[in-house]
Structure 1
């Protein structure tokens, strides 16, 4: 099965978004998942009276760590080494991949299992492993689907959100060694379990991410719902953790505050099925565990974000709530964003990772309605940061000349109220001429809107006209 038309093979954001809007099945798939996620989160938050206080505490914990990052890095490294772990530092994505590939080669690894990790996707680890000739097995169910489809994740919690159940069943029939018993979810999960079991048992190296790095113990926390991470990190003789340096927390109690916020915001549950803490390799008396335990701490632009005024973005716990509630993401899905991280958080992070010149369309695609910050469990001011990228893009002259000229014309008209009101009246009356039964299916200069949806017929009078009429009727 080939990658969908809205994947990154289409160059520009506008082209990718256009292709996504033209795909009715994608819209159905997005709605099914994100609507359920929004409902579950709302219920979980409503059922926890202390959510607001915990959210404020979570924000303060993350800000404290960011402000004292050097201290907690040193403490974590010292305690991790004391437990028997080998700690590596990587300044860039390429360096991180080289370290991981080197560990695999030193272990003479043939098969490597990997549990879901957005940091791994960010640094391009799957591609690097494939290029190195390693047999890579993605063990998360959704990542397994994405790997079989030669595709990319479209959501940070549900990577295969863009695939329908029928397409997944066809993939499993094509690639799984044992016949699929049925197209229902249970049968497909059982098929994946059978297919992956041998890889779990035979892997030489297991690679995981980390939801939290506990500074005072050197432990690594993973949060999953499938148990695949435990099989990935426990059975192989070598376990490699790749984690961004912002994942640090001072202690276990701080981690539990953030865990309660993360899970409710991500899936609407009180806690995940599997919350596991790994602390060093197998010790004398342990029944299981790896013989080698490596932790690769990755910067990849994070310290640069501190200098760019984006420190608050380092609070992010990767819950996905911002994209579940984003009106843009819910129309175009994750692939249209082009980078590793979609949605509002991706629109802030991608200019850091790929450069603003390549990704200036992302901040401009946002409606700035503020819903993303409202639902963020650590109160990241995403709209403010997106406005900051817009301002930087304008200051650096990255917008097309036609757009700058149009905005200049609009700014000129806005400085003359009489001229602006006349133009507004004329525009409203002209637009209304294209309406039929309350909707406009085709509108000159607005084909980007009307190509895939109708435009609502505007009211007969502008807001200013209604406002003046209201004031005339209201007694002073």
Structure 2
């Protein structure tokens, strides 16, 4: 079996297109700036972040009790509640529901959880045409891709490329890339799918233990269109998405959209409590490694995530390497914490795809200590994982040098001398990956220690 591609190797593919890399970087930084502007308009912003973090702390400490309460209230509302230990069981639940209700056609709104479980592929193998109704999701579905961002799934594509995709799949005019024209074509296409669908699948942004209801946030209203027209509503929810009370919802709704896109609130925050007369509502509660993560003291806070994507928009690595370089459902800094907990070998390079600058932690609306957890994963990987031998021995050598003043002084002088006489063709060879996109600074004549000692004598 071939070893999984490292983040660095995957990022190198994206970086070959310098114009796209620059555009991707600037576009996401613009979203980050919109987030800052929206946050600064609320004097109580930091208070909201503290409240959200504390509520999530309570949820993680009382998750068993809240899940029981949530299930009890949802059942009382007439919702059929199912439990899934992993993605396979989740997918089998969905398939059984579709079969039992003789569903022929279905629509799906954006759901990171169903991406995580591989639901689309599973149902397609069973003969279903799964129609993603979020515009960005539909675009990448046409393009046979997975989302590169959890909020803006097609952010890696330019409008010209989207125009070509729509021309191929929807028959729009060749070369047309006007957003209004393309959006109208998508509306016409999706409206037919909504009308024909027997079942609608949605994700869940927040489950409310107190009421047994749940909330789905969208900007396009596609979740509402699907669930209102179809007779079957299947809601798929990670068990960490709970909040205790309906009163807590206001805290998170004020944080979510501002952190994600700089909006004051999502266009549609849809509340679901019970099925309409003559219809059915199913709620699938999914673990898929969440309780394992909950048991990791250093990483349990990652389960506070409300999937806003703010950490991705600010991360200098994500912005310049795209979501595809991570090879995981949730990319970026938060994905680099969650994914190693699922498969340490496959995702062992992700915690190193960070400068540890802390910007991700600064923008996180629920105050997850993301950069600290990335550092802790590095320690775990170095101890339990399978680090590259070259890196392992170079770090051991560095430890010996840095731990011995005489060796440190000798190696410093040697390095300064060698850098002065070595040709650039050797310094910036393929061996020196660091030098591919960087120039070394001018080599100093002496170390700071030597300069200090000389000047101290002169005084």
TM-score (norm 2): 0.93
Moved more, 396-405 or 142-151: 396-405
Which residue, out of 345, 354, 361, partners 1:366?
354
Moved more, 415-424 or 51-60: 415-424
Counterpart check, 1:460 vs 2:449? no
Aligned to 2:400: 412
Q: Is the 8 A contact 1:29 1:162 kept in 2?
A: no
Which residue, out of 25, 35, 52, partners 1:58?
52
Q: Relative to 1, partners in 2 of residues 1:434 and 1:153: Cα closer, same or farther, differing over 3 Å?
A: farther
Aligned to 1:443: 428
Q: Is the 8 A contact 1:351 1:358 kept in 2?
A: yes
Structure 1 vs Structure 2 CA RMSD: 2.5
Q: Relative to 1, partners in 2 of residues 1:167 and 1:380: Cα closer, same or farther, differing over 3 Å?
A: same
Gaps of 5+ in 1: 1-8, 284-289
How many pairs does the alignment contain?
457
Which residue, out of 358, 379, 398, partners 1:391?
379
Aligned to 2:148: 154
Counterpart check, 1:242 vs 2:230? no
TM-score (norm 1): 0.90
Q: Relative to 1, partners in 2 of residues 1:397 and 1:133: Cα closer, same or farther, differing over 3 Å?
A: closer
Could you tell me how far 1:319 is from its partner in structure 2?
0.6
Aligned to 1:351: 340
Q: Is the 8 A contact 1:177 1:195 kept in 2?
A: no
Could you tell me how far 1:234 is from its partner in structure 2?
1.4
Aligned to 1:213: 207
Q: Is the 8 A contact 1:180 1:188 kept in 2?
A: no
Partner secondary structure for residue 57 of structure 2: helix
Moved more, 165-174 or 224-233: 224-233
Could you tell me how far 1:419 is from its partner in structure 2?
2.1
Alignment of 1:335-350 (within 5 A): 335-350=324-339
Q: Relative to 1, partners in 2 of residues 1:101 and 1:443: Cα closer, same or farther, differing over 3 Å?
A: same
Q: Relative to 1, partners in 2 of residues 1:418 and 1:236: Cα closer, same or farther, differing over 3 Å?
A: same
Could you tell me how far 1:456 is from its partner in structure 2?
4.8
Which residue, out of 304, 314, 331, partners 2:303?
314
Aligned to 1:286: none
Aligned to 1:94: 88
Partner secondary structure for residue 220 of structure 2: coil
Query: Matched residues in 2 for 1:473 and 1:462: separation?
Result: 16
Q: Is the 8 A contact 1:29 1:161 kept in 2?
A: no
Could you tell me how far 1:33 is from its partner in structure 2?
2.6
Q: Is the 8 A contact 1:434 1:443 kept in 2?
A: no
Query: Matched residues in 2 for 1:86 and 1:471: separation?
Result: 79
Q: Relative to 1, partners in 2 of residues 1:178 and 1:324: Cα closer, same or farther, differing over 3 Å?
A: closer
Counterpart check, 1:104 vs 2:98? yes
